[in-house]
Chains A and B, each alone.
Chain A
Amino acid sequence: KQEVTQIPAALSVPEGENLVLNCSFTDSAIYNLQWFRQDPGKGLTSLLLIQSSQREQTSGRLNASLDKSSGRSTLYIAASQPGDSATYLCAVVQSTGANNLFFGTGTRLTVIP
């Protein structure tokens, strides 16, 4: 069974710092990977979707990379702001044809003004 791990579980950084969040998965036979943001008491918001054939995706200050062979993805946030404080989750879909997303437990990010 696919296992998705996100380390660290929590991270605090000062405002303006660039940072990297990590996601690793045990089975490299994935179809795609998504990064989500979750604010307290809210649902998840999709940030970036990377297909298995892609190496990275960018949206504004966010850049996500994917290395299937090593089972890793990173989410790079440039010039962090207090409004970036949230929990960030990654999820993968297997290439076997299933509709299930396997989620990590997330990294809780706090950006300190």
Chain B
Amino acid sequence: GAGVSQSPSNKVTEKGKDVELRCDPISGHTALYWYRQSLGQGLEFLIYFQGNSAPDKSGLPSDRFSAERTGGSVSTLTIQRTQQEDSAVYLCASSSGLYNEQFFGPGTRLTVL
């Protein structure tokens, strides 16, 4: 289909390792968002990209988290030196404009042992 895709669907890693999570937005969508969903915490905003503007990184919990979006399309969320509290589902969403409906991908379930 033409929805938002994310990879991998599941990732198990050891504490201290780096991980990269990938998001492929809907083709033509200019805005891309990352959220984190922890048990009992709901979805927590991390970062969003809109076109060529500087990303809004206000939701990143620490400097171990970073994200980039190459060519205005695919985005990678990187978590360095993972900690057990980073275990969560990481969701990506895209929208056709900054104020339009956000379509979510299925998420990447990250488990840090």
**A and B are partners in one complex rather than unrelated chains:** no
Contact surface of A with B, Cβ cutoff 8 Å: none
Contact surface of B with A, Cβ cutoff 8 Å: none
